[in-house]
Structure 1
Amino acid sequence: MTASAAGPPPRPVRAAGPPPRPAPAAPLRIALIASARHPIRDPFAGGLEAHTWTLSKALRARGHKVTIFAGPGSDPALGVVEMPFRPPRISEAACRDTSMVAAHWLAEHHAYLQLMLDLSRTPARGDYDIVHNNSLHYLPVAMAAVLSVPVVTTLHTPPTPWLESAIQAPPLCPMWFSAVSDHTAAAWRHVVPTATVVRNGIDTERWHPGPGGDELVWSGRIVPEKGAHFAIEAARLAGRGLRLAGPVGDTEYFEACVRPRLGRTITYAGHLSQPELCELVGSSAAAVVSPCWDEPYGLVIAEALACGTPVCGFARGALPEIVTDDCARLVRPGDRTALAAAVEPTIALSRTAARRHAEAFCSMEVMTRSYERFYHSVSA
């Protein structure tokens, strides 16, 4: 339940720890909990999976020992310990229960339950210095007390009932929290009074500058809240071609709101691998980011800027804190006319400035050092 003036006060949550200090020389042994449902593999199911892949590689490059617990089919190079995501066989009689939830929900529940039990047992409790819950599931939060090492959770989304209830379940939630933006930290403040902000970063070597081009680009999961239809309408009003790319997360939305608008100047490139997407974004005049929800971070922004491609989008969620006037133009949320009018001023921005901002603000190095300080502040 969301706390309000009329409701009960939020349960106490452990603070984010003392002020950060330089990381000691000794590497950390980190258990990184990822999605049980989606593999950590390129092409990625979404930004969370891409972020987990990048973070694990970066931590290892800095000498830490990282064990990733993730869904089947993940990148073999990561050495993932697969969580048993097995949809149960539910009898016909049980399916008649009106409280029946989706089979994938049950599979995720039991996968995370088994993982937390395994981590709580000897000798597993001596194998890690810290457990980082990078999933969206509630069980690693609800069961943090069964582990003998510090557990941290990154808040990647707006508040959800399952996570809020997991935080409030014990008298004192034995958990430290980070958030991917100031906006997201503020959204959770009613149940997480203090969250350390560690913004997502991308590998600026893999996301390299491109030459630009004449067409616009939109990338991301094709679901209603990402607003691909707004990008299409703005591109048409601006008289520019638009290339869309990303996994279709909502088939009904794609068929109703995207496919009918495709044609000679509006095209869909499909679900691309990271190198393919880098080439597409880098060869575009500007990236359109048109969320219909309060975007918690916006990884596609960091990717576009690293490619030297300036951003034109809605000033919603965390977007205003990620960009500057040197590399982006933001307009009122939902205003397709204003978005279209901002296209040409965006294209006129310096591609060099866009890349420079990505290196200084959105890089993998900046993110990883911030996580190291966070880890050491809670594991001392």
Structure 2
Amino acid sequence: MRRLRVCLIASSRFPVREPFAGGLEAHIHALARSLRDRGHEVSVFAAPGSDPALEIHPLDVEEFDASSAARADVSAPPDAWMREHHAYLSLMISLARSGHERFDVVHNNSLHHLPVAMASTLSIPMVTTLHTPPTPWLESALKFAPTHSAFAAVSEFTAEQWRHVVDAVVVRNGIDLTRWPEGPGGTDAVWFGRIVPEKAPHLAIDAARRAGIAINLAGPVFDNDYFAREIEPRLGSGVRLLGHLHSSQLSEVVRRARVTVLTPRWEEPYGLVAAESMASGTPVAAFARGGLTEVVGDGGGFLAGPDDVDELPRTIVRAAELPRAAVRAHAMRYHSLDTMVAQYESIYTHLASDSRAA
């Protein structure tokens, strides 16, 4: 595998640094580190404040202060939308001018439409990973994507959701198994992720109580109203909030958990927390939503029907009895970072070779 110069485009919303705001930031961090360790030159275009240990190029998310006349326009988008738009516009103009001098391939992991819509302005190839279900802006941008663009999806489920507009090869997210070692387990359940309504940790609390098991919650609060309404009143009596943890602290919590409970009320594109849990040897009990059905599979845990709050407590009890070594082996077989990176290396090399030939 020859050394490649890779441009990684991340989201402008959250810095790629510990403690990670979500799975996308953790994914970018792991991908950049692994590519660099394998000898590639990696530049990460990400939100200001990202980890300086990576080769970070901060996206130009400048403060935008609209005039009073512009704000009076009833169709005016929020200032934050304009800042994000200008950040990606500036990046794509820069790559169109000089990207061919600096990079062999661009790997777009942002959730923004402009990198896809402006890919035809670049003289270097781009692969875009689809991390979410179709969104109107991104779906509409695909009609401007050049024919030599490549697309990957994080699960079969996500690839199928996009099938009506693009064929994407499936490259499942991988995790660094050395950073999520197998642990001894314990007596309590754990739920971890962003504390938002669509992740519904309040249902995990209710299910754990019905299963007769204490539960710890870990993650950043992204919706204060939801937290005050559904989470805060449920704290105590076997329910603890651990806060937003560094991944090393979170790994310790998950390794010492008996079972991980996941309660998405939307179709999960992948489910990185499930893979992290299984790598720790901790089985998963979850709603069967989206990509989780592939990630957990046979051997990593058990799934209840979507939103089935009556079945979930029984699922928790069943999952908690699985042998931890077998759960860890399942994660090693299907969710390793090395496997994911090797697949992306193959895509990069193919695109770069075709570009040179052209």
TM over 0.5: yes
What is the DSSP-based 3-state SS (H/G/I as helix, E as strand, rest coil) of the residue aligned with 2:20?
A: coil
Aligned counterpart, 1:318: 291
Distance 1:99 1:173, change over 3 A: farther
* Partner secondary structure for residue 74 of structure 1: coil
The answer to whether 1:140 aligns with 2:115 is yes
Per-residue displacement from partner, 1:50-74 (whole Å, max 9, x unpaired)?
1000000011111111110111000
Residue 14 of structure 1 is matched in structure 2 by none
2:88 aligns to what? 112
Conservation of the 8 A alpha-carbon contact between 1:144 and 1:174: no
Report the residue type matching 2:153 in the other structure.
Answer: A
Contact 2:191-2:218 at 8 Å conserved across structures:
yes
**Aligned mate of 1:154, from 125, 129, 141:** 129
CA distance in 1 between partners of 2:160 and 2:123 (Å): 29
1:51 aligns with 2:27: yes
**AA of the residue aligned to 2:247:** Q
User: In structure 2, how many angstroms separate the alpha carbons of the residues matched to 1:333 and 1:69?
Assistant: 37
1:337 offset after TM fit, Å? 1.3
AA partner of residue 71 (structure 2): C
Letter in 2 for 1:149: I
Give how far 1:379 is off: 2.3
Distance in 1 (CA, whole Å) between partners of 2:120 and 2:112 is 16
Give the CA deviation at 1:174. 4.8
The CA deviation string for residues 16-41 of structure 1, in whole angstroms up to 9 with x for no partner, is: xxxxxxxxx31111000011221100
Which of 321, 325, 344 lines up with 1:371 in the alignment?
344
CA distance in 2, matches of 1:79, 1:259: 40
Aligned to 1:4: none
Matches within 5 A, 1:242-281: 242-281=215-254
2:256 maps to amino acid: S
Q: Which residue identity lines up with residue 4 of structure 2 in the other structure? A: L
RMSD value over aligned CA atoms?
1.2
Q: Distance in 1 between matches of 2:53 and 2:160?
A: 36
1:351 aligns with 324
Among residues 192, 201, 212, which one is paired with 1:219 in the alignment?
A: 192
Q: Residue deviations 1:293-348, cap 9 Å, x none? A: 11000000011011110000111101111123322011101011100011111111
Question: 356-365 vs 153-162, which deviates more?
Answer: 356-365
Q: In the alignment, which residue of structure 2 is the partner of 1:78?
A: 54
In structure 1, how many angstroms separate the alpha carbons of the residues matched to 2:141 and 2:233?
A: 42
| Paired residues of 2:174 and 2:335 also in contact (CA < 8 A) | yes
Distance (whole Å) between structure 1 residues aligned to residue 309 and residue 351 of structure 2 = 45
Q: SS where residue 53 of structure 1 aligns?
A: helix
In the alignment, which residue of structure 1 is the partner of 2:6?
30
Q: Tell me the TM-score normalised to structure 2 length.
A: 0.96
Which residue of 2 is the match for residue 131 of structure 1?
Answer: 106
Structure 1 unaligned residues grouped into runs of 5+: 1-24
Offset at residue 173 of structure 1 (A): 5.3
Question: Hey, what's the Cα distance between the residues in 1 that align with 2:29 and 2:18?
Answer: 9
Q: In the alignment, is residue 166 of structure 1 matched against residue 164 of structure 2? A: no
Partner Cα distance (1:53, 1:217) in 2 = 24
* Structure 2 gaps, min length 5: 354-358
Extract structure 1 runs of 4+ deviating beyond 6 A: none
Query: Alignment partner of 2:243: what SS?
Result: coil
Separation (CA, whole Å) in 2 of partners of 1:236 and 1:200:
32
Query: Identity of aligned pairs, percent?
Result: 51
Pick from 143, 146, 151: which aligns with 1:177?
151
